[in-house]
Amino acid sequence: MYDRLKADLQQRLTELEEQGLYKIERVLQGAQGPEITAKLPDGKTIRALNFCANNYLGLANQPELIQAACKAMNEWGYGLSSVRFICGTQEQHRLLEEELSAFLGTEDTILLSSCFDANGGVFEALLDADSAILTDALNHASIIDGVRLCKARRLIYKHLDMADLEQKLQEASDAKYRLIATDGVFSMDGDIADLKTICDLAEKYDALVLVDDSHATGFIGPNGRGTPEHWDVQDRVDLITTTFGKALGGASGGCVSGRKELIQWLRQKARPYLFSNTLAPAIVGATREALRIASNAQDLRNQLARNTMRFRKAMEAAGFTIRHGHHPIVPIMLGDEKLAVQMAQALLDEGIYVIAFSYPVVPKGLARIRVQLSAAHTDEMVDRCVAAFTKVGKALGALKS
Ligand SMILES: *Cc1c(COP(=O)(O)O)cnc(C)c1O
């Protein structure tokens, strides 16, 4: 049997390579940070400025977090060899849940191994076939999969299209419960969902609201509490899912946070919570520290905002087409798929590490390089990035004339 499958896979892998869709992993030779050492496929080792991590607050290699992780490991051990409800709940798990609820302005929180698991468990546990889920067309893969696992009717509305959402809410008027699910920030464009209108529509049509705030928790909103704070709708969002794998230290872990009975029910029924191992003690300890830092990180958030604006302004002045906005995700729109790949390669040769995204990750003809800023970048690093883009952009004819 395997011979046939093997031949088939080999064929399909070759096709991926031919289409330029085969993903190559660059192997880092040290910790994550604004500057990295990487080993290229040809064996060459390079130093490069890193503009493609979700390390928004620059905490991924923060000494305080490493210390907190070591301390938690010394105090609470390495692993728990259990799920939460058997013998995998330590006092620090409960404390982190309380601290997350306080940070996000919610009533209760459950921890999961990832936000992927949070989205994988939340829909199926709460909604049956008699209910309906309204989901943005560009929601994260984990929401798509979570919705697939759930028997509720699925209505996909056009990306950020509030008129289409309203129409879908009307179509779902016969459902027992309605739930609107959206990313707070969409990862390919850095655009922010209009939670104000979403909450208004939810009220008008009697629906629940779930926001996946993975690209927002810790740095969007006046106090970094995420997109609900940005829109001043914290008390109108029923559920938040988010990750600890981006701004909050970048290791792993995630949570579902929200109204008390919803979370209480998820603790009983969410399958990734019941059947997957508890979050490791070191990650719990370090995430508590990350949350303490994020609660008091106006300086880091200001630095991130300054870096973002510095980069956006300089890139526009240089003649690049970028998506407007304020988010540290800055898509440099190139259109042509080959140009995007060529440009990312040329930038790496200039010591700038960025990634090109093309179809099917983004729509055909909208290939781009996604740049992500971090509070850990210095002005000089941002300027070096712009200079390299300008040099390479000129050489490849990617600038507006
Ligand atoms: C990154 C991301 C996830 C996955 O988070 P993990 O904790 O790494 O599983 C889920 N949703 C969104 C919107 C994300 O950006």
Kindly state whether residue 147 falls inside one of the protein's structural domains. Answer: yes
Q: Which of 275, 295, 315 is the last residue of a domain?
A: 295
Residue 215 CA to ligand 1 centre (angstroms): 8
- Cα 169 → chain centroid: 26
Q: Which of 270, 295, 320 is the last residue of a domain?
A: 295
Residues 205 and 104 in one domain: yes
Can you tell me which atom of ligand 1 is nearest the CA of 139? Answer: 13
49 and 34 Cβ atoms separated by less than 8 Å? yes
Residue 394 CA to ligand 1 centre (angstroms): 35
**Opening angle at CA 262, ends 81 and 245, nearest 5:** 50
Residue 288 CA to ligand 1 centre (angstroms): 19
List per-residue pLDDT tens for the chain, 401 residues long. 999 999 999 999 999 988 877 888 889 999 999 999 998 888 889 999 999 999 999 999 999 999 999 999 999 999 999 999 999 999 999 999 999 999 999 999 999 999 999 999 999 999 999 999 999 999 999 999 999 999 999 999 999 999 999 999 999 999 999 999 999 999 999 999 999 999 999 999 999 999 999 999 999 999 999 999 999 999 999 999 999 999 999 999 999 999 999 999 999 999 999 999 999 999 999 999 999 999 999 999 999 999 999 999 999 999 999 988 999 999 999 999 889 999 999 999 999 999 999 888 888 899 999 999 999 999 999 999 999 999 999 999 998 86
Q: Which of 240, 275, 295 is the last residue of a domain?
A: 295
Instruction: Tell whether ligand 1 has an atom less than 6 A from the beta carbon of residue 303.
Output: no
The neighbour count for residue 23, using CB atoms within 10 Å, is 6
Which pLDDT score is estimated for 177? 98
Residue 340 CA to ligand 1 centre (angstroms): 24
259 and 282 Cβ atoms separated by less than 8 Å? no
Residues 80 and 208 in one domain: yes
Instruction: Tell whether ligand 1 has an atom less than 6 A from the beta carbon of residue 140.
Output: yes
Residues 307 and 274 in one domain: no
Can you tell me which atom of ligand 1 is nearest the CA of 117? Answer: 9
Residues 95 and 173 in one domain: yes
Residue 242 CA to ligand 1 centre (angstroms): 7
CATH code, domain carrying 238: 3.40.640.10
Residues 191 and 340 in one domain: no
Rounded Cα distance between 136 and 59, Å, is: 30
- Cα 133 → chain centroid: 21
Residues 120 and 82 in one domain: yes
Residues 110 and 246 in one domain: yes
CATH code, domain carrying 362: 3.90.1150.10
If you take atom 2 of ligand 1, which residue's CA is the nearest one? 214
Residues 248 and 108 in one domain: yes
Residue 183 CA to ligand 1 centre (angstroms): 10
Instruction: Tell whether ligand 1 has an atom less than 6 A from the beta carbon of residue 215.
Output: yes
Rounded Cα distance between 270 and 273, Å, is: 5
Instruction: Tell whether ligand 1 has an atom less than 6 A from the beta carbon of residue 183.
Output: yes
Domain that holds residue 52: 21-57+298-395
Residues 330 and 356 in one domain: yes
Which pLDDT score is estimated for 248? 98
Residues 244 and 384 in one domain: no
Residue 247 CA to ligand 1 centre (angstroms): 11
Instruction: Tell whether ligand 1 has an atom less than 6 A from the beta carbon of residue 136.
Output: no
Kindly state whether residue 129 falls inside one of the protein's structural domains. Answer: yes
- Residue among 187, 169, 186 nearest 178 (CA): 169
Instruction: Tell whether ligand 1 has an atom less than 6 A from the beta carbon of residue 245.
Output: yes
Residues with catalytic function: 187, 215, 246
Can you tell me which atom of ligand 1 is nearest the CA of 243? Answer: 7
Can you tell me which atom of ligand 1 is nearest the CA of 244? Answer: 7
Instruction: Tell whether ligand 1 has an atom less than 6 A from the beta carbon of residue 278.
Output: no
Instruction: Tell whether ligand 1 has an atom less than 6 A from the beta carbon of residue 97.
Output: no
Kindly state whether residue 4 falls inside one of the protein's structural domains. Answer: no
The neighbour count for residue 343, using CB atoms within 10 Å, is 24
281 and 78 Cβ atoms separated by less than 8 Å? yes
Which pLDDT score is estimated for 40? 83
Which pLDDT score is estimated for 22? 85
Residues 103 and 233 in one domain: yes
**Opening angle at CA 187, ends 266 and 362, nearest 5:** 120
Return the HEC string of 257-280: EECHHHHHHHHHHCHHHHHCCCCC
Kindly state whether residue 338 falls inside one of the protein's structural domains. Answer: yes
Kindly state whether residue 274 falls inside one of the protein's structural domains. Answer: yes
| Mutational pocket test of ligand 1: of 111, 115, 287, the residue with most ligand atoms within 8 Å of the beta carbon | 115
The neighbour count for residue 261, using CB atoms within 10 Å, is 10
Kindly state whether residue 16 falls inside one of the protein's structural domains. Answer: no
Return the HEC string of 349-382: HCCEECEEECCCCCCCCCEEEEEECCCCCCHHHH
| Count of the separate structural domains present in the chain | 2
pTM of the full structure: 0.97
- Listed as own residue / partner, the contacts of 259-267 with beta carbons closer than 8 Å and 24 or more positions apart are 259/106, 259/107, 259/108, 260/107, 260/108, 262/126, 262/238, 263/107, 263/108, 263/109, 263/110, 264/108, 265/125, 265/126, 266/110, 266/121, 266/122, 266/125, 266/126, 267/84, 267/85, 267/110
Kindly state whether residue 313 falls inside one of the protein's structural domains. Answer: yes
Can you tell me which atom of ligand 1 is nearest the CA of 183? Answer: 13
The neighbour count for residue 24, using CB atoms within 10 Å, is 8
| Mutational pocket test of ligand 1: of 32, 110, 113, 140, the residue with most ligand atoms within 8 Å of the beta carbon | 140
Q: Please report, for residues 22, 155, 302, 345, 379, the alpha-carbon distance to residue 374 in angstroms, rounded to integers and kept in the order given.
A: 27, 35, 11, 21, 11
Which pLDDT score is estimated for 26? 87
If you take atom 14 of ligand 1, which residue's CA is the nearest one? 214
Kindly state whether residue 5 falls inside one of the protein's structural domains. Answer: no
| Residue the block writes with tokens 């010394």 | 74
Rounded Cα distance between 390 and 384, Å, is: 10
Residues 121 and 93 in one domain: yes
Instruction: Tell whether ligand 1 has an atom less than 6 A from the beta carbon of residue 227.
Output: no
Residue 58 CA to ligand 1 centre (angstroms): 18
- Residue among 178, 338, 318 nearest 330 (CA): 318
Rounded Cα distance between 48 and 350, Å, is: 8
